[in-house]
């Protein structure tokens, strides 16, 4: 029983270690540092990170299947071998009892029991022993047990085994199996709830789908932005209107600063222009075209947003700059972009590995100003 428990613990520990290793592999790359879905959709990085994740999942899928097979076989052996031993012992013992080779009846009255007959001179016909006094003293308690016509030395012993002991053992092992199975019921219930929540999230349709192919894709974009009589409240706080008839015109090429207290709607205007939300009333236009008629992906490709605390991804400086061009870019293009953003000098002079320097989680190895210039 101790070896059975030890083997079970070993199998569980091994399987848990393998699963933990797979989780660490999948979460140790850039994938764990996705700050928020909006950063992906605004930067058009979603497909790229999705492909990266799929590659890593496919890479570990084969190993996971092998580990699952090995773990299942090991767990089956750990649980099954003790039961098989019980089965063999019970079968062999039942065979001996059925053939009347072992049992109280055999010891009491069977002349084939050579040990009793030879050592104590037991005579099955007379039920007496002619040997030493020690053996004679056992006659009443041992050799003459059958004369007592007890349940143990009668033919009813077989019925007792078949009608009581066998069903009792069956019920015992059934109860043990049910108890072992019920121990996982709580985990199964939690897993079911988690899966329902996951499938609900996967089946949820966004009101503004960034992957949709619908909408116009103009050949060029001048960048003229206009908000006309915009009324907007966030879906989670419809009772609080952020924009109440707001109008703004930003001509192409003009620098505009939006000023106001916290919560006055400065960031909300940017979110409406990028179409993370649609206004309840009024319109938001780009080059005189309502953004609701434009393709969402195309619209967001025309806008570069760098916030006060920009989002950088785990990886090198060069990789983060390259994310700005969906179709990919060369090292020369990366350096040209860094020069235009006034970032090339500090990258070359201050960073230990220049463009191959790791920026850390959320760009934690760079200062705020450096992160902003890399994001630009």
Domain boundary among 45, 75, 98: 98
12 pLDDT exceeds 50?
Answer: no
Q: Are residues 277 and 356 in the same domain?
A: no
Q: Would you say the pTM of this structure is higher than 0.75?
A: no
pLDDT at 220 (0 to 100): 83
Q: Are residues 285 and 342 in the same domain?
A: no
In this predicted structure, which of 11-20, 71-80, 141-150, 258-267 has the lowest mean pLDDT? 141-150
Q: Are residues 66 and 30 in the same domain?
A: yes
pLDDT tens column, 194-207: 888 888 887 877 77
Measured distance CA(363)–CA(368) in Å, rounded: 9
Q: Is 28 part of a structural domain of the chain?
A: yes
Q: Are residues 35 and 78 in the same domain?
A: yes
CATH number at residue 296: 3.40.50.300
Beta-bridged to residue 227, according to DSSP, are 248, 284
Q: Which domain holds residue 231?
A: 225-301
pLDDT tens column, 282-313: 888 888 888 888 888 788 777 777 777 777 77
CA angle 102, 105, 107 (to 5 degrees): 65
Q: Are residues 335 and 262 in the same domain?
A: no
Q: Is 272 part of a structural domain of the chain?
A: yes
Q: Are residues 287 and 321 in the same domain?
A: no
Q: Is 208 part of a structural domain of the chain?
A: no
**Mean pLDDT across the stretch 33-46?**
55
Q: Are residues 331 and 283 in the same domain?
A: no
Domain boundary among 235, 268, 301: 301
pLDDT tens column, 86-121: 888 878 877 776 665 544 444 444 444 444 444 455
16 pLDDT exceeds 50?
Answer: no
Measured distance CA(346)–CA(177) in Å, rounded: 67
Note whether 306 and 372 are within 8 A (CB).
yes
Measured distance CA(163)–CA(160) in Å, rounded: 5
Q: Are residues 286 and 363 in the same domain?
A: no
pLDDT at 104 (0 to 100): 42
Residue 349 binned pLDDT confidence (cut-offs 50, 70, 90): confident
**Mean pLDDT across the stretch 198-220?**
80
Q: What is the mean pLDDT of the chain?
A: 70
Q: Is 70 part of a structural domain of the chain?
A: yes
The rounded Cα 210 to chain-centroid distance in angstroms is: 27
Tally the domains of the chain: 3
């Amino acid at each position: 029983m101790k070896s059975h428990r030890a083997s079970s613990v070993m199998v569980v520990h091994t399987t848990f270690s393998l699963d933990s290793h797979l989780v660490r592999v999948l979460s140790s790359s850039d994938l764990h540092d996705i700050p928020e879905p909006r950063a992906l959709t605004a930067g058009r990085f979603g497909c790229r990170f999705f492909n990266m994740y799929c590659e890593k999942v496919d890479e570990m899928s084969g190993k996971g299947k092998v580990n699952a097979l090995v773990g299942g076989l090991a767990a089956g052996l750990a649980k099954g071998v003790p039961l098989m031993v019980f089965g063999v012992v019970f079968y062999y013992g039942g065979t001996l009892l059925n053939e009347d080779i072992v049992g109280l009846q055999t010891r009491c009255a069977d002349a084939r029991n050579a040990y009793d007959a030879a050592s104590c001179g037991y005579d099955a016909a007379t039920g007496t022993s002619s040997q030493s006094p020690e053996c004679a003293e056992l006659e009443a308690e041992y050799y003459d047990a059958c004369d007592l016509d007890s349940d143990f030395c009668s033919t009813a012993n077989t019925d007792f085994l078949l009608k009581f002991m066998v069903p009792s053992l069956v019920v015992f092992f059934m109860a043990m199996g049910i108890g072992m199975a019920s121990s996982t019921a709580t985990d199964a219930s939690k897993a079911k709830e988690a899966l329902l929540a996951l499938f609900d999230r996967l089946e949820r349709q966004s009101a503004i789908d960034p992957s949709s192919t619908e909408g116009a894709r103009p050949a060029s974009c001048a960048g003229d932005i206009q908000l006309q009589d915009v009324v907007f409240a966030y879906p989670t706080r419809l009772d609080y209107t952020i924009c109440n008839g707001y109008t703004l015109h930003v001509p192409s090429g003009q620098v505009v600063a939006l000023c106001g207290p916290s919560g006055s709607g400065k960031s909300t205007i940017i979110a409406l222009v990028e179409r993370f939300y649609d206004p309840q009333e009024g319109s938001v236009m780009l080059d005189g075209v309502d953004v609701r008629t434009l393709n969402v992906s195309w619209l967001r490709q025309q806008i570069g947003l760098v916030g006060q605390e920009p989002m950088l991804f785990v990886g090198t400086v060069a990789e983060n700059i390259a994310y700005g061009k969906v179709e990919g870019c060369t090292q020369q293009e990366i350096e040209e972009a860094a020069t235009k953003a006034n970032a090339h000098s500090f990258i070359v002079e201050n960073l230990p590995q220049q463009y191959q320097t790791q920026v850390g989680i959320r760009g934690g190895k760079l200062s705020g100003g450096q992160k902003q210039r890399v994001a630009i």
